[in-house]
Structure formats: C-alpha cells, structure tokens
A and B are shown apart, each in its own frame.
Chain A
C-alpha cells in the first residue's frame, strides 16, 4: 500500500511513506453491547464484521443489537436516570465529564488509529481534528453541568430523561461526543447507537466510561444496523431522539416520532455553497475550497460541495483549483502525508459513482484527479465538475463524497439567490476581503453556519446545525444544551 500512492504531477516532490502503526489500536476480535456498565452478548447472539474500508479486511466482530437488546438498554438508562443520575448534582456530573475528557486526551493516539482504521479517513485528520475536538467537547460541556442556571433557560432547568442518540459514520467518535456530552451535562441518561460501519471508537469510549467509573446505565451503547436505530426511535421508554444522518432518514424519524410525542433534534444533509468574490485572496481561497470539499473525503454534511465563483475570476479559480486537486495525495489513510483517504463503504462508493455519472450525462464538464488508486478498498479520485447548472442533480443532491460542482455568478444578489436555491441550509462559505459585503451576504443566506474566509471550522463553543431540510436543533455552545433540557 505505498509507492504509487504518493504519485503526483510534481513527481520530484513526492513523499516517502510515513505510516502510523496499526498495532497501536489493540483491538479485540469481538465486542459485546455496552449495557448497564458492562459488555454483554446480544440476545440474538448475532455478530457482524466491521471492515477497514482501505483494505476491505475485517477489523473486529461487533454485536447486532435486536429490539430486545434496545429494550434492555433503555430499561438500564431509565433505571439509572431515576435512581442515580437525576439525583447526582451538577458539580458531580461535571467531574465525571471532565474525567471522560481527560481519558480521551490520554488515549488520543490509540483513538486516532482506530478511527482511521474503521472509517478510512486520513490519520492526520483523526489525530488533529476528530479526537482532540471530541475531548474538547466533553471538556466544554463538563463546565456547563454545574452552571445550568446561567445558561439562559431560566432557573433550575430540568433534563428530558432518557435520550436515544443515533450517529453517522463520518465522524464516529466526534459525533458520539456531540451527542453524549451535552445530554449528560444537562442530566439525561443515554442510549447511543453508533453507525453500522464505524462502531469501534464508540466501543473504546465505553471502556473509557468504565475507567471514569460513570455509574452503570448512564450511558449505554448498542451497535447494530438500521433495525437497531429503528427500535430505539420507536421505544416508548425514550424521551428524546437526537439523530445525525441523511435527510431521507431524518424525515422518516420525524414522522415516527410525531405520533409518540418524543422530543427531537435532527442534524441532516447539506449542499453547502462556497461563495467566492473576485476580491478574495486567491491562495487562501483555493486552499479553503479544497478543504471545504475534500476534507474527510467529502463525507461531511456541511461540505462546501457547490462552489459559486464570481464570473470575472472563474477561469483563473478553476484553473488553479484543478491544478491543486491533482496534487492531493490520495491513498493509505494510515500514511501521515495522505490528504484524501478511503470512501467509508461500498454502498457509499456506489452512490458517489451513480451521482457523478449523472453529472456527465446532464452535460457538466468533469475533471478527475490523475492520482492512482489502490487495488483493494473503496476509493474515489477527487473530482471537479465545471459548467454545472442549478437544475443538475450534482448541484441539488448531496453526494457526500470528494466531488465539487462549480457554478458562477455576477452580483452579490445572484450569489445569494443561487446559494439559497436548495432545500438544504446547513452551511455556507463566503470569500472576500470586504467585511461589509461578507456580512451583507451572510445575513441573507439561509444556513445555520456561515464561514467567512475559512471553511469547515468546528469548536465546542460554537453552535452547529441547520435550517430547512438540514434539520433543527443545535449542537455545541450554550445553544446545544437546549436540545437536552425540558425548557
């Protein structure tokens, strides 16, 4: 898995392999369900394999939780809520969360390796983004647990009870942190359902919860597939559902929850517009566009997947962009120099291929990186489509892969109109040296997050979430507490 992987048009500048050691992962061959503070076999005794998407080799065998297991987990969470957690003071909850943050920091390298093996993302990203941000998220919400009176929701705000939390495969540990930290800080107990293809870091987190001596049942982790998540959504003992994933599934969950009156927050898909004005500093902007779409293989709900460039600079931007795309190092996620890793699953790869085929059919001009791809594993070369029209599927649908659609505009009004021409509204980027114009555009964009002269920035203190069909509710910041308080 090396050699040609670092090929680029700048052959003389290619890097030698710099692989991280997979042995740091210390994975077990088999994992149970984490219920009531201990690992146990699923009632069905059914297991499934989780693969390394870069090699298609199995990493470990994981339990498939049935509805009976979900029932056990919810019962455990309810019991822990009533007997222990609702009687635990904010100051004590705070100290548990600080412990968890510290334990993640202590084991960060191990977590980074496991995340990259299970997800396919470059080790540079899991090491520098996913794991540190997950620890920071616990640290931030640890500080809220004993300060809820000051959070702006009135005196002594109460938790909701048992939260059922369903998370995606693109940032497995980070999404677990985004869900668990505010829920626990607010005083809820949790049943967390990790994504089918990326369960491992959540199971390592379960070990950390044991090391932190979190009372049994306060957090339960049930691995499985869609049926597991479905059982959690339908369980009458769950007070709140928090879901991150596709708009398609989010819609189904909202319909199901509508009849049983659970609290609900949804963080769904996006088709982020990255708007480039002619006065933007070009080097930073090109890097920002690249980071906006190719970060995490484009498996990012807020990815800047639609580039809107002002016509006067469109040719120059496209030329430089394509040259930069060709220099991205695609391949072994465990190599510290890799920019773009493996696609997470065969199913996701098939979807990317299907949508990009539509792009060509509908008349867009395709540029594909000349990088060579490994023989085994799931790979998709970074791709840019020019001459994209707003009606094209690649301009409307979330591809969730390393594919950028480029459109142009002439005036700020037109940029705003085109950016808002989407059912989604998660994130947008604005590139300009003129602050007043950036703010003028920002206040007209219908999006939950707007980045100015940067993209894909995340911080525990900053609320994240969408408008319209990108979902509702916020994660992060003071606002993130509201999703788990009965206010």
Chain B
C-alpha cells in the first residue's frame, strides 16, 4: 500500500450539557495557527448558545456538589489520565496555537496535566484549609464551611490556550461550581480537546460547558446573565474588562479580575467559594 491516505478531519464544536452541538446560529469562524495558516472552522457561539450553557451549568451544579469530594477528585483525576493518553494531540494543537519551539509544547502539556492532578487533590481539602471551628464566647458549637458560589462564567486567557484554560475552568469546578467558559478567541482548539476528554472522564453533563466564538460579542451576555454567580475576566482587559466588571455588579457577582501567575496561590480556588457558618447550641 504505497498510496497516500487522506486523513479524516474533525469538526470543532461547542460543549453544552455533555453534548457537542454546532452553534445554534449555524455560524463558524476561521481559526489560524500562529503562522497564520488555516487550522479549522470553529463553531461561532451565539448569545443563545451562552444562555443554553448557563441553563446546563445551573442544572448540573447541585448534583455535582452533592457528589462526595472524593468522587469529584476522582473525576478530575480521570481527566488527567485522559489528557496523558492524548498528550501528543494536545501538544500538536498547543504548538500550532502558541508557536512553541522544540519541546516547549510537550512541556506545556506536562505542566497542564500536572495542574489537573493538583486540582484533583484539592476537592477534599478545600474545606480543611478554608473551613474552621470558631471558639465563640458562649455555649455554641460554631463552624464555618466553604461552599461553592454556584455557576461561574469564565472568559479564558486569550494567549495561554491550554495551561491558562485549565487553571481558569478547573479551579471553580474543583471547588464545587459548574462553569461556562468562553474559550480563547483565536486559540480555541486545545480547550476543545480538553472538553472532548471530559466526556470520557465521567464529568457529568453540564459541569463544564465551552463556547467558542468572538469574545467581544458573547462575553457581555455571559457576564450580565442573572443566573451566573461569579465571573473570571482573565481573557479581557482594558476598557472592555472594566465594562464587564460594571455589568457584573448588577447582580452582585463575584468577580476575579487579574490573571494569577503564581501557581501555588489559592486565589482561584478561593475566588468562587462562599463561607457558610453554623451555630449549634450545646447543653444538656
């Protein structure tokens, strides 16, 4: 068989509620590699797609949080297993998106996978770090536990197509939130691959939803959505970021603004966590 085989190419789609639809709008847009060469026609998500994704995330949140922390940790760890087995594909896409030289793309994938493992270990430890027993002056057992904010909208980093994406979506999920991510406008394919992997990692549908498209068009819809409890504005800056932050104030959203470069900081994990305090009487 000396004939050259024609490869089968993939359609890059959205991830909403565990399914992979095209945009309801039927639109797509051209994504290029760092060299400017054609890479793919990616679904161009609409405002309606964003709203559908928020509905899916809301529907999944109570169930995700009701799973044991151990179970949520295993689901996230499973994602690391899936990513490891498809690491070459991830490296190819990160390389095409970001233009790494030499082994740079593989190194980025390694860091990304280790980061998934790091988050897998957090699910059952967040309460032990952020919670407390409070010695109030009275006959009460008083304790505080961290609980998720709910549904988090993430505008993913525009440059760091894999590592930045992983950090931004996985921190709120590890803390028990469900997430709608607007992928990097120009570098969306690594995030689409991760979305595909969650489908084989026992992520319940709706826990992670990914919308590809034009950030400027759809971010305002996500940030203004009344049923979104918090937003991470990593992927926008300047005046647009400020506009979105103002919009988020309408429904008193929790807002995470600047990207967090220190990998040992818990800032992202804390960003979408509420503290719930219980007073219980003590007496015969």
Give residues in A with beta carbon < 8 Å to B.
91, 94-95, 98, 136, 139-140, 142-147, 149-150, 152, 412, 435-437, 439-440, 443, 460-461, 477-478
Contact = CB atoms under 8 A, between A and B. Distances in A.
A139 B266 contact: no
Closest 4 CB pairs of A and B: A143-B121, A436-B281, A439-B282, A436-B283
Contacts of A142: 121
A94 B266 CA distance: 18
Contacts of A143: 73, 120-122, 124-125
B284 A412 contact: yes
A409 B203 CA distance: 51
B137 to A, nearest CB: 15
B132 to A, nearest CB: 11
Contacts of A478: 125, 128-129
A144 B121 contact: yes
A266 B118 CA distance: 31
Nearest to A155: B264
Contacts of A412: 284
A114 B226 CA distance: 56
B70 A140 contact: yes
22 contacts: A94-B117, A98-B77, A136-B70, A139-B70, A139-B77, A140-B70, A143-B73, A144-B121, A147-B121, A147-B125, A150-B129, A150-B266, A435-B281, A436-B282, A436-B283, A439-B141, A439-B280, A440-B282, A443-B282, A460-B124, A461-B125, A477-B128
A136 B264 CA distance: 24
A147 B283 contact: no
Nearest to B118: A146
Nearest to A91: B114
Contacts of B158: none
Contact of B283 (A95, A140, A146, A437): A437
B160 to A, nearest CB: 19
- Prevailing SS type, chain A contact patch: helix
Nearest to B120: A143
A410 to B, nearest CB: 13
B247 interface: no
A160 B264 CA distance: 23
B108 interface: no
A437 B114 CA distance: 47
A149 B262 CA distance: 14
Contacts of A477: 128
A143 B125 CA distance: 8
Interface string B117-160: 11011101100110000000000010000000000000000000
Nearest to B115: A91
Given A436-B281, A439-B280, A439-B282, A139 B117 contact: no
B125 A440 contact: no
Contacts of B281: 435-436, 439
Given A94-B117, A439-B280, 13 more contacts: A95-B114, A98-B117, A139-B73, A142-B121, A147-B118, A147-B125, A435-B280, A435-B281, A436-B280, A437-B283, A440-B282, A440-B283, A443-B282
B74 interface: yes
A98 B117 CA distance: 9
Nearest to B129: A150
Contacts of A98: 77, 117, 120
A146 B264 CA distance: 9
A211 to B, nearest CB: 16
A184 B124 CA distance: 19
Interface string B235-264: 000000000000000000000000000001
Given A94-B117, A136-B70, A437 B124 contact: no
Contacts of B141: 439
Contact of A91 (B74, B118, B280): B118
B67 to A, nearest CB: 14
A146 B121 contact: yes
Contacts of B70: 136, 139-140, 460-461
Contacts of A460: 70, 124
A436 B283 CA distance: 5
A277 B243 CA distance: 61
The CB with the most chain A CB atoms within 10 A, among B121, B280, B282, B284, is that of B121
Contacts of A139: 70, 73-74, 77
A283 B55 CA distance: 43
Given A95-B117, A139-B70, A144 B283 contact: no
Nearest to B283: A436
Contacts of B73: 139, 143
A134 to B, nearest CB: 13
Contacts of A147: 118, 121-122, 125
Nearest to A461: B124
A142 B122 CA distance: 10
Contacts of B122: 143, 147
Contacts of A144: 121, 125
Interface in B78-99: none
Contacts of B264: 149
Contacts of B125: 143-144, 147, 150, 461, 478
A468 to B, nearest CB: 22
A370 B284 CA distance: 39
Nearest to B70: A136
A55 B69 CA distance: 41
Nearest to B69: A461
Contacts of B282: 436, 439-440, 443
